[in-house]
Chain A
């Protein structure tokens, strides 16, 4: 039995990641706040792939529950994919601290809390893979999205350090930086078609990158170039820009 644990399994990206891993022979732990809402997906994956799917209740913001949650998993997963994410509207989050805190908790603190526990186990066992879904928004803070972006920047830095630490133990850490993805979370936004990925393509990209032992994945790949340019605009110019 080779289980992959997907944390934040109720998003569109997670749904597609789950299907890709099951299709390729993995069993699944799907963890979400209300995992009962994933019954249909569980049934769908079992019909498509005949793999085992186990639904688990998990609240990424409830740090105190994380240790117990991971201890209860038997067998332990072969890999973990953290998909949880929360994007509040920038203007709203500027005024409402609760919104900002929610982003920090879900996108950074919560992810770090559970990954610290899992990393400890994987390091000891000298096996496993960790995939964290960060964002291109974390590559540079922009006025339109920096509260969300800064939580992702912190998460990216965390994953980078974790990769460095776990290299010796042979544990792979993959940082995924999606650009625009057409999902529930972005449905209300006007996204440029050529830069927007479909969740099923993002899922396939993630699976391929993880299987090939990659470190950082931009999806679509064009985002690597876009962010390379954006990162290199001098600050005295960047601060005057609206992008």
Chain B
């Protein structure tokens, strides 16, 4: 059974091996010329695809959890949702979580994911105390913050080895609810002002209406919030809706996207409003709809996520939003976010500035459009997020990541490049 990525693009045949023990993994490594680790298939593009795929979700035991210190040790195939099910009721939460809880612990490290609190807490690697990893020769290493293997593996897209387990520190909470404030803005200038105004809030994210035109470009719903303090720790995941089949490709046309954006934006009250919402509603709104990726049709989609340095963000975003608006290519979701300082990991995506993420259905002309957006991103000193990517050119990628040569050299020195490769790593030659 072939596996695909979240974007369902590209489509390739592959051979899958599920590992359940270190010994079986060691055997597999010996026998297999080249492969890439695959978690729960939430990376969008080709970063976890290759002819041979190591399926890691079957390696998923909790190893240790100290309720007093909030230190959790678990195998890499454990999902973040499993962690929440176990720890929220005991007053703990993930220090850093992305917008889906349906990813594995190993995937969170390999993508060095970030969330709505990046401006305060940084990337996922921040909460990783140590992890163990099997290298190309079958040896297992435990590494800690500061080790070169740590710097290369966090954000290293599974290209340094197979992460086996990790010890992470959790964040104390006293409620399973979030006090949320929603700010509705009229244009990009107001959006930036709102981000600045609320930059001391621990969590923030904006949903941008990408199809807004002219003076309305950049209008958004900015949602900021923090955990409530009501001692109510009851947390039960709701049963999710599921998209039962892949939509015909024409469903998500420009008109329906417009309607969606309009309805979503129109639903929110004018100006500032306050809500108390659950963890799932605040952090993981899309997880409520299982397999929402199917709405883009059988050809699949890609997510374009870039980040620009802070001082260049306003001009760069304006230019890119104008280009998207002119192209009329719809984006269901456009997420804007303010980021804090960059970290020392070789390939982590975040830098201090603003990032925008948009979905594009795979259709004629889409790659040309994205190439032209790339030139704007580079012009303003930005870069592209590998976890979302299925198409970026080697040169574009390299310009955005100043530590790429260090990473390449490290891979070569430790023969990682002979064993761990994805379609993406071969495309951008990392």
> Are the CB atoms of A48 and B1 closer together than 8 Å?
no
Chain B nearest CB: distance from A235 CB in Å? Answer: 32
A234 in the interface (beta carbon within 8 A): no
The reply on A23 being an interface residue by CB < 8 A is yes
Per the bound structure, the CA–CA distance linking A43 and B2 in Å amounts to 32
Question: Which A residues are in CB contact (< 8 Å) with B17?
Answer: 187
Contacts of B18 in A (CB 8 A): 182, 184, 187
Smallest Cβ-Cβ distance to A194: which chain B residue: B245
CB-contact partner of A41 in B61, B64, B82, B85, under 8 A: B61
Contact size class for A?
A: 10 to 19
Does A233 make an interface contact (CB < 8 A)?
no
Q: Is B192 an interface residue (CB 8 A)?
A: no
Partner of B62, one of A12, A23, A47, A190: A47
Within the assembled complex, what's the spacing in Å between the Cα atoms of A196 and B2?
A: 12
Within 8 A of B (CB), among A43-62: 43-44, 47-49
Report whether A184 and B20 are in contact in the complex, using a CB–CB cutoff of 8 Å: yes
Which of B1, B62, B63, B64 makes the CB contact (< 8 A) with A191? B1
Q: Does A40 contact B (CB under 8 A)?
A: yes
Within 8 A of A (CB), among B83-118: 85-86
**Would you call A192 an interface residue if the criterion is a C-beta within 8 Å of the partner chain's C-beta atoms?**
yes
Task: Say whether B62 contacts A43, CB under 8 Å.
Answer: yes
Instruction: State whether B58 touches A47 (Cβ < 8 A).
Output: no
Residue of A43, A184, A193 near B1 (CB, 8 A) is: A193
A191 to B2, CA, bound (A): 9
Tell me which residues from 179 to 205 in chain A have a Cβ below 8 Å from any Cβ of chain B.
Answer: 182, 184, 187, 190-193, 196
Report how far A44 CA is from B20 CA in the complex, Å: 14
**A146 CA / B86 CA spacing, docked (Å):** 42
Check B260 for interface membership: any CB of A closer than 8 A. Answer: no
* The residue from B1, B62, B63, B65 contacting A182, defined by CB atoms under 8 A apart: B1
A43:B61 contact, CB within 8 angstroms: yes
Residue pair A49, B86 in contact (C-beta under 8 Å): yes
Residues of A contacting B2 with CB < 8 Å?
193
Q: Chain A nearest CB: distance from B183 CB in Å?
A: 37
Mask: chain B, 46-73; 1 = CB below 8 Å from A; 0 = not? 0000000000001001111100000000
B86 touches A48 (CB 8 A): yes
Q: CA A158 – CA B354 in complex, angstroms?
A: 63
Instruction: Give complex CA distance A12, B63 in Å.
Output: 18
Within 8 A of B (CB), among A1-51: 12, 23, 40-41, 43-44, 47-49
In the complex with contacts A48-B82, A184-B20, A187-B18, A40-B61 CB distance below 8 A: yes
Interface residues of chain B, those whose CB is within 8 Å of chain A, are: 1-2, 17-18, 20, 58, 61-65, 82, 85-86
Which of A's residues lie within 8 Å of B, judged by CB? 12, 23, 40-41, 43-44, 47-49, 182, 184, 187, 190-193, 196
